[in-house]
Each structure stands twice: as structure tokens, then as C-alpha cells.
Chains A and B, each alone.
Chain A
């Protein structure tokens, strides 16, 4: 799933899709943690997932706010437009 999320992030140009792919990747990472926790029978994996979740939430809210700003400015969601920091 992580690999899929990575593919999605690299391929799609739409910002939203990139964000969605990022979520997928986070989720996948969390899944890995849970599995590890389940393996050892410890609660730590779940705790980790808990944190990841919180992080994902925060990241999504800020990211979406930025997407909105971008849309307002560029009237487009093309990620490649955000290349003013190119060398």
C-alpha cells in the first residue's frame, strides 16, 4: 500500500490526489506499526498509530487550507505550478 501511495504521489499532478496519496502512505505506515504491535502483543504499536493519526489530521487540515489558497491564486490545482523556487 505504501508503494501504491508512493506511485500515486509521484504520478498525479493534482494537488488533492497528491495529498490523498500521502494519506495512503501514512496509513500504510500505521498499518505496519499495528502489525508489529500485534506481533509482540504490545500496545506500543497502537500508540504509534495513534500519534500518526493525530499527525495526519493536523497535516490534512493545514494542507487543505493551503490547497484552497493555491486554488484561489492560481485557479488551478496543478502541483507543477508551484515551482517558483526552482533554480
Chain B
């Protein structure tokens, strides 16, 4: 019982620290911690399968992706200073109010219905698997399609960069500005660093 609340607190704290963090990498690390905590919560709740899944996919794959990108972007100290500049305390007020209201509503809703004890029973991977390949089969298939779409999109969006850049530079210098064009080409004319 107490482990649930403790883990919960850890998760909340980690998330809070994450959003307050100035450094991107630090934030990411906090986020990973948060996810791990959530995974533990899942386990406590009797869902070992998703706990494992959380760790493997969420914390493992997605966060790693994030870290790769951050490292690729090579933000550095300048970014941290910029973040500080951006994060003014006054900006926290509005969203905080909103979130507070939301929290209040959710709590209210929850307290209305009866709250059962956690970890009533464990739902193992076998059941999940059966359900997945049973009634939710189509969901699985769609998810796979979605993933494929994401793959293609990410591939496409990421891949054009080096080649098109060169071509863009040559093209644009040769023909002047292209009419309309897509986002990529139009942006190629801008000088770097302009906000």
C-alpha cells in the first residue's frame, strides 16, 4: 500500500522536476525516472505486462529517441540560458490555475465513486495477449499501420535534409526565390539564428 503512494510521489516529483528543469537532458532523465516510477505503479496494480512494456518501450525506446535528438541538436549552455530567460515565474500562474482546477475536478470525480483497494488481482500477460488477439485485433493491426506511417514520415522528414540543402542552395541562387514552394525550400533562404 505504502509502496504505491511512495512510487506515486516519486513519479509526481520527477515530473515536476522535469518541467521545471532548464537543461533538456536533465529533463529527459527526470522523465525517465518518472516513467520508471509509473512502471512500478503498474506492477503494483497487478499489470506486470504493461509494466514491462512501459520500461521497454516508453522509457527505453521513446526516451532514448529523445536523448538522441537532444544530443544531435547540441544545445549547450546557451540553450540553458535561453531557457532561463524564457521561464519567467509569472508564466507559471495561468497554467497552474488551469491545472489546479483540472486536478480539483478529477479528484472530485474520483471521490464521488468508491475507490477500491489497489492490486485487486493481477492480470497477467496471457490474458492481455488473448484480449489483444481476440476482440482488439483490429486495434492491433491499426496500430501497426500507424507505426508504419510514423516510420515513413520520420524517415521522409529526416532524410531530405542533407541532399535537399545542397540542391536548395544551388537552386535558389540560380533561380531566385521559388514561388510558394514548400516549407523546406522557403526556409532555406533565411539566415540562421533568426528567431
The residue in chain B whose Cβ has the minimal distance to the Cβ of A84 is B183
> With contacts A27-B58, A57-B62 known, is A2 near B102, CB below 8 A?
yes
Chain B, interface size: which category?
Answer: 35 or more
Residues of A in contact (CB 8 Å), total 64
The 17 sampled A-B contact pairs (Cβ below 8 Å) are A6-B99, A7-B99, A12-B19, A16-B27, A37-B47, A43-B128, A46-B47, A46-B49, A46-B128, A56-B62, A60-B62, A62-B154, A69-B184, A73-B188, A74-B194, A75-B194, A77-B79
Interface of A toward B, CB cutoff 8 Å: 1-14, 16-17, 19-21, 23-24, 27, 30-31, 34-35, 37-39, 41-47, 49-51, 53-62, 64-69, 71-78, 81
Query: Which residues in B have their C-beta under 8 angstroms from that of A13?
Result: 86-87
The residue in chain B whose Cβ has the minimal distance to the Cβ of A60 is B62
Query: Which residues in A have their C-beta under 8 angstroms from that of B193?
Result: 75-76
The residue in chain A whose Cβ has the minimal distance to the Cβ of B73 is A71
Q: Is the CB of B154 within 8 A of A65?
A: yes
Is B118 positioned at the interface, with any CB of A under 8 Å from its CB?
Answer: yes
B 1-34 binary contact with A (CB < 8 Å = 1; else 0) = 0000000000110011011000010011001001
